[in-house]
Structure 1
């Protein structure tokens, strides 16, 4: 014997009719309401600012941005965010194609985020032609100089200051640091580095530590900050940048035995035994090492 519900349609041919819960018009209204709600909760500017603060985007967020970029290929913010997450996978030519035009954007934030990405790409480029290498260096200097005349954020000021010092633009680097408006620059830069680490912005964190190392008041502090900065690169498996940074920021620590031993270990961990041998030679002939050997 059939239950009551089954008896209703026992005499009907074909599929039993289904209850219509929502009409098409109602569905359109609901969709529009949800879109408006999401727009109200996550306004575009706030969302972009949040994404800019993140060095690493999770797979879902990255897929979302990638889809948005496909539908809005002229969106500079999306192009910058995608280029930044792809990091060293993009060479200089590819990066120019994607964000080269944004360097001339009327938006201060966009053009300086693009400049920073271009600077890092140029640093990664091993140009064998001396003339072309010098041209790239001049381009980097122009971008840093242009950024220094823009009203950029404190964190961008720190990043461009680091680039300025790497390019030998000491006056520009000092001017960018003075924008921070603090007496204890080292402490502030360390705070920025820790904040960047908390946001998983490893490259920026390393740059802040190494910039603080330049401002250190004594050798012990300089050694600690140097090792912190290089250590951040290593923790993120950025071995090539770690090796480049060691060469660029060793400075007066080249006679410090503890720093040279750290450089040897780092070079070996990064798969660069020849570089490790070079640091070992520096260690052997270091005046401080010789003094220790002569001590009774």
Structure 2
């Protein structure tokens, strides 16, 4: 015996109409509830913010980021987190392919572009730290120089600018390094700049430390501190036997300390140590004719 539904449509050749289990608005409501539930279980924004503070990701978190990135390939934060996790495995070309859309889109904020550029900078550093033949090294250094010049035109965050400055100084690009450091000096007080200088000096980055000291020297309004920072900056280069650089640093930053007796005493001795007796004689002559007394003890 056929069920009632079958009897009802037994004489109809066409396919019988299907029963409507749910309405369209019910499906939409279920989808919205599901999305809300997933967001509650996996709070993507909060997670991304937390992961930015981690240096390394565990396998489970990395797998989650990879899956999210597949569904949202244009999400800059996910791209940066993925690139950061895989930077040791990816060569520079692959990393550029992954991160260049962030740099070229114009939609992403300064933090995202700065993070992307920092990852590329570190990839350049790893490449140059490897054993490269002379011609290849020269090619990579030219590429890095171009990258640094391009980055200097972007809004590199002050807290990240120090790494770009360090690489510029390593390549002998003093003016470019100073351009990055000015981002830092705009927000940091002189004491913080001096702390940066000491940290770089501890790592053997004498040129960068010297420039940090000079930024601190110009930032402070205390003449005794200005004198001390100036001397530390020059001494940082002298300690590394970079005598010519030290004298160039003096010429660029002496400023209103040109009539300071303690500073002139220091410069006379320093110029002699740098093998420039003529310069030393000039400072000694200025010292003789300087009438302005020292404002504090030599530091």
The TM-score with structure 1 as length reference comes to 0.49
Greater relative CO, 1 or 2 (CA 8 Å, sep 6+): 1
The TM-score with structure 2 as length reference comes to 0.49
Larger Rg: 2
